[in-house]
Homo-oligomer: A and B are copies of this chain.
Amino acid sequence: MPDTGPSANPIDVNPGELDVVGIGNALVDVLAHASDAVVEELGLVKGSMNLIEADRADELYERMGPAVEISGGSAANTIVGVASLGGTAQYVGRVRDDQLGAVFAHDLSSTGVRYTVQPATDGPSTGCCLILVTPDAQRTMSTYLGASSLLGPDDVDAEVVASGTVLYLEGYLFDPPEAQEAFRRAARIAHEAGRTVSVTLSDSFCVERHRDAFLDLVEHHVDLLFANEAEITTLYRTDSFPEAADGVRRHGTVAVLTRSERGSVVVTDDGLVEVPAHPVSQLVDTTGAGDLYAAGFLYGFSRKMDLATCGALGSLAAAEVISHIGARPEADLTELARPILEG
């Protein structure tokens, strides 16, 4: 008997050769611990993502404490999470042919993610995200896009996009103008192939910067939306979370809304599915929480699991990534997910 309750997936999932194809800004994270006072001194808004130029990146880096370099990039983190769960995935994003670009490419392919975009041979260096982690495990990000901003529509391989059950796009792509074009082209190709198009709003300041474009996208061009509370309320210019959730629902888009320690809700035309947060052994660094939630959800979604299971996988992957420094899973997520998948 097909599941027809609110946890049933209203989207007709059309399986391709790959589970997920992700497109985003390719970045290496530079993570350092910092006090709240330092975040303030540097003129940063705690918890936000700020775009910075090369000069400002140099200045901030000089004032940061000793750091750790780990590959990052929102959609790239998600794609690695999908692979860690045993999914098949490909990533599209651009680095330069420098040392950090080689690190980024290695950290994708060594997890089994397909990555074929050639590094730029000139222009700005590989993009990086300077991340200050405060004692409350919150992260404040300053992103120098560098070579990632060179991603354009020509980098979107139609065959690759058409082969993914789900296309996953990060909202941050709306910052570099060329990438916006790549974003739209990819969504068109995926829909023409009958695939699911998903997007994450990424950051409330990013939503503010591109609000009209995002509204149009969410209401007319996207099947599955990921957002947290701040992002979705910013998009609908309301203080009310239920009102914002209703805004998306009215347009037939499935909305997956994360609420930190209060878990997440999946909003569809058939109702709400509430998903509890997964218990966290120790909260160390929230970098990547949303990215890995999306990874778990998308893995389940592409394998046609019900929405409650998709959400449970998202919560599990998010809980793992916030228990340590960095936005990529350290544990084998397939192993961790066994109780959910076999239960």
B-binding residues in A (CB < 8 A)? 32-33, 61-62, 64-71, 80, 98-100, 103, 106-107, 110-111, 125-126, 326, 328, 330
Q: Which residue of B lies closest to A68 (CB)?
A: B70
Q: What chain B residues lie within 8 Å of A71 (beta carbons)?
A: 66
A67–B261 Cα distance when bound, in Å, is 29
Asked if B66 contacts A110 (CB within 8 A), the reply is yes
Q: Which residue of B lies closest to A329 (CB)?
A: B66
Tallying the copies of this chain within the complex gives: 2
| Given A32-B110, A69-B70, A99-B125, 14 further pairs, Cβ under 8 A | A33-B330, A61-B106, A62-B106, A62-B110, A64-B106, A65-B110, A66-B106, A66-B110, A67-B103, A67-B110, A68-B69, A69-B103, A98-B99, A99-B100
Q: What chain B residues lie within 8 Å of A61 (beta carbons)?
A: 106
Q: What chain B residues lie within 8 Å of A110 (beta carbons)?
A: 32, 62, 64-67
Q: What chain B residues lie within 8 Å of A100 (beta carbons)?
A: 99
7 contacts between A and B (CB under 8 A): A66-B80, A67-B103, A67-B106, A67-B110, A68-B69, A68-B70, A99-B126
Asked if B66 contacts A111 (CB within 8 A), the reply is yes
A66–B106 Cα distance when bound, in Å, is 7
A272–B61 Cα distance when bound, in Å, is 46
A33–B330 Cα distance when bound, in Å, is 9
